Chain A
Amino acid sequence: MRIGAIAGITFKEAKRDRVLYLLFFFAALGILASRVLAILTVGDRLKIIKDVGLASIAVFGVLMAILIGTGLVYKEIDKKTIFTLLAKPIRRAEFILGKFLGLVLTLFVMTAAMTAIFLAIVFAHTLEVEGALLVAVAYIFLELVLVTAVAVLFSSFSTPILSSLFALAFYLIGHLSWGLKLILAKMAPGPGRALVRALYTVLPDLENFNFKTEVVHGLPIPPGIYLPSLLYGLCYTAFILGLAILIFRRRDFI
């Protein structure tokens, strides 16, 4: 109930953020532009539409999560609205979870809106709805949920600018860390390999949520990959939120 109330107010606040609409505008523009790009391209036009469309949803969704998420907790502290809020019988964990869920709800609405435009463009081209596209979007959304948790984590102890940089770094590392997996395969056993393995375990691997290539090119996706990816996303999000709560619980609000 209390988490719901905080999530509701966070959704209301995020909804008022102009950055959200600006990013949505560019995302919609990107998706619409995919049709123009397709016309200018030699080859499979549909692939271009799908590729650019999914990439737009992913990139602008992440920007929304980072730019709004990193200010969420910080603004409450900076504007001192947190004094009135935490003076009520709520736990600090409830505050963090409420903020997180409020932004997740905002991102859900935005992703749904971007997806609707994207599916309409694809439908205009193929005159059919492809379920596989929704799978790709669902895992993009799962990635957004994780990035939101990261943004809330940094927001609980840092300024929005630094938090944005940290969260962006997390996102980039997350999409490059699969390289470590390749290195691991070629390394001989020893301390160096153990170190790289430890690094790969700790660093996020956001490629677990990337089904864009398979969906765009119509490649088969092994059914056994869905559940581990989902669990990986949920566990990593829970871990990051736990960390955020731990840090936030120790904070003094001077």
Chain B
Amino acid sequence: MPPPGGQSPSAVNPAMRIRAREITFAVDFGPAFLKIEAMADAIRIRDLRKDFRLGFVPRTHKILKGITFSVREGEIFGYLGPNGAGKTTTIKCLLDLIRPDAGTIEIFGLSHFAPRSREPLGFLPENPYFYDYLTAREFLAFTADLFGLGRTERDGRIARLLALVGLERAADLPLRKYSRGMLQRAGLAQSLVNDPKLVILDEPLGGLDPLGRKEIRDIIVRFKEEGRTVFFTSHILQDIEMICDRVAIIVGGRIVKEGALRDLVSERVLFTEAVVAGLPPEAFAGIGESVSAQGDRVLIRILDEAKVDEALDLVLRRRGRLLSLSPRTETLEDIFVETVTRT
């Protein structure tokens, strides 16, 4: 029911907003009425299960064993896991390409079974599978038609997207003539045709050179700045670490770790690496272990933080030269390797 004065709920300037995990209560004391505005997660998956029966004599393979996690609006969420962990199956369930055996999936509060739930969504598959006889422009026009965009809006948006992904000059070449990086960009463009609130990217950085990876990474960060939610899988943990707000790690069909990156990755120093010249490796016995030696340079790994000063004293005393000293803190890769190995 519209509030008194004909103001729409979104136009109300709430005096107080209490944010719970999934529900926002907007309490407006001005016109003396109380409004409760539900704010759903971008993605909410609960107890998702999927078995496949494969082989000549069909055997049941449990792929997803009760996946539960949420992706909040406006965040970049990284979904990690080793090969065969169930990442792509989760995405396919999310897109209704695979029917789950149990569990629920909601996209902005709508059941994923409803085609409407895919209206605010853009998807880039792991490998760019497109109609290779179409040009990028034709392909984007076809995608726009699926969303029912008008001709003028469609043409304007296609031109902007081609510029965004840097394919203006190749826009009228058939997609079969594209390199992998170009196809990835065309894929990214098609995933944005409907100006989605949620972008799902399956391994968007796979198979790209460092420059291509940086470009895609920058685009993902720009998505967040534009207020979009990004859910993506990747094997390249450095990239995830650079851009993700939160991550979930899936191993063997189960989520084994989930949370904000800053909570998962501690500031704790694992060890300190020192590169010293002019001293033999044996000089550091009892302080740290010599990892490698090249010419008169020695790389020492000091596990005990208290012994770093001792190492520096030694270098000064024996007139060696300290070339570098770098404390190594925990990375996402450490957590990933530890989690996967333990599981």
Residues of A within 8 A of B (CB): 1-2, 4-6, 8-9, 12-13, 16, 79-91, 250, 252-254
Contact = CB atoms under 8 A, between A and B. Distances in A.
Nearest to A87: B123
B109 to A, nearest CB: 15
Given A9-B142, A80-B127, A80-B129, A88 B97 contact: no
Interface of B: 52, 92, 95-99, 115-119, 121, 123, 125, 127, 129-131, 133-134, 142-143, 145-148, 187, 190, 200
Nearest to B94: A87
A78 to B, nearest CB: 10
B146 A83 contact: no
A4 B141 CA distance: 13
Given A86-B96, A89-B116, A254-B98, A1 B121 contact: no
A199 B78 CA distance: 57
B97 A81 contact: no
9 contacts: A13-B131, A82-B97, A87-B121, A88-B146, A89-B147, A90-B115, A252-B52, A252-B99, A253-B97
Which 6 residue pairs of A and B lie closest in terms of their CB atoms, listed nearest first?
A5-B145, A80-B129, A87-B123, A89-B118, A89-B115, A253-B97
B99 A89 contact: no
A252 B97 contact: yes
Contacts of B130: 81, 84
Given A87-B97, A87-B121, A88-B146, A254 B129 contact: no
B119 A89 contact: yes
Nearest to A79: B129
B133 A13 contact: yes
Contacts of A254: 52, 92, 98
B98 A9 contact: no
B127 A81 contact: no
A252 B98 contact: yes
Identify the interface centre among A4, A81, A86, A87: most chain B CB within 10 Å of its CB: A87
Nearest to B126: A83
A201 to B, nearest CB: 33
Nearest to A5: B145
A6 B123 CA distance: 18
A209 to B, nearest CB: 33
Given A1-B145, A2-B146, A252-B99, A91 B129 contact: no
Given A9-B142, A253-B98, A83 B125 contact: yes
Nearest to B148: A1
A12 B134 CA distance: 9
Contacts of B99: 250, 252
A253 B96 CA distance: 9
B129 A81 contact: yes
A90 B146 CA distance: 8
Contact of B115 (A5, A9, A91): A91
Given A84-B123, A89-B116, A16 B147 contact: no
Contacts of B95: 83, 86-87
A9 B147 contact: no
A1 B145 CA distance: 7
Contacts of A5: 142, 145-146
Contacts of A13: 131, 133
Contacts of B134: 9, 12
A86 B98 CA distance: 11
A1 to B, nearest CB: 5
A91 to B, nearest CB: 5
Nearest to B131: A81
Contacts of B118: 87-89
Contacts of A85: 146
Contacts of B145: 1-2, 4-5, 8
A7 to B, nearest CB: 11
B92 to A, nearest CB: 7
Given A9-B134, A81-B131, A89-B115, 19 more contacts: A1-B145, A2-B148, A4-B145, A5-B145, A5-B146, A13-B131, A80-B127, A82-B97, A83-B92, A83-B97, A83-B125, A84-B129, A84-B187, A84-B190, A87-B121, A87-B200, A88-B146, A89-B146, A91-B115
Contacts of A16: 133
A13 B134 CA distance: 9
Contacts of A91: 115
Nearest to A6: B146
Contacts of A81: 129-131
A79 B128 CA distance: 10
